[in-house]
């Protein structure tokens, strides 16, 4: 854990992200961005039907596409089952200042997210969703494993519902901080 938050930091109540909420938001993000990838197996397996039509080609294309969609969705949902993903789903409180966001399990344990680790912020209903940046090319393995890791990664985010803030001023301060960091419009 890095140095503590500043004395004027925004402190929140404890919050635990539910696995179902994470899965829903992450799957929506993946399929909004990568919907076209499901067309690749569909088109590839329908090509033979163009030259020699058979319902078997059509059924096979639909089946392979469905398997691709299920595997990609299972990959995203797997984040909730992996041991490395457990810190995302623990009951945490946050201390937010101009340098970092401290995710605290208790007074002694936690981790820090610096602002440069956050790629973007969305306002979803009554909460902020802070999307973490994906790993850089230098952090990924080389070769085809690196290509797979880059193109089929699961999004990771931190969710901060408005109800965890102690007062409306903390929420306004967070929003102004996000605007200064150019993370939200």
Q: Is the pTM here over 0.75, yes or no?
A: yes
Q: pLDDT per residue over 8-65, tens digit each?
A: 789 999 999 999 999 999 999 999 988 998 999 999 999 998 888 889 999 999 999 9
CA 134 to chain centroid: 9
What radius of gyration, in Å, describes the C-alpha atoms of the chain?
21
Q: How far apart are CA 2 and CA 20, in angstroms?
A: 30
The pLDDT assigned to 3 comes to 54
Burial class (CB in 10 A: 0-12, 13-18, 19+), 149: middle
Which residues are CB-contacts of 61 (< 8 A; sequence separation ≥ 6)?
Answer: 41, 42, 44, 45, 46, 49
pLDDT digits (tens, 9 = 90+) for 124-149: 889 999 998 888 878 778 888 888 77
């Amino acid at each position: 854990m890095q140095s503590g938050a500043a004395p004027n930091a925004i402190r929140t109540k404890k919050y635990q992200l539910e696995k179902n909420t994470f899965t829903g938001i992450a799957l929506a993000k993946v399929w909004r961005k990568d919907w076209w990838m499901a067309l690749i197996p569909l088109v590839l397996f329908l090509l033979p039907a163009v030259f020699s039509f058979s319902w078997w080609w059509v059924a096979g294309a639909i089946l392979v596409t469905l398997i691709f969609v299920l595997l990609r969705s299972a990959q995203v949902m797997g984040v909730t089952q992996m041991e490395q993903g457990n810190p995302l789903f623990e009951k945490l409180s946050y201390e937010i200042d101009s340098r970092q966001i401290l995710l605290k399990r208790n007074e002694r344990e936690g981790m820090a997210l610096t602002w440069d680790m956050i790629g973007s912020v969305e306002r979803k209903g009554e909460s902020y969703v802070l999307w973490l940046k994906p790993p850089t090319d230098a952090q990924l393995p080389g070769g085809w494993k690196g290509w797979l890791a880059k193109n089929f990664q699961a999004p990771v985010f931190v969710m901060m519902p408005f109800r965890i803030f102690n007062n409306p001023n903390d929420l306004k301060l967070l929003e102004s901080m996000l605007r200064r960091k150019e993370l939200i419009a």
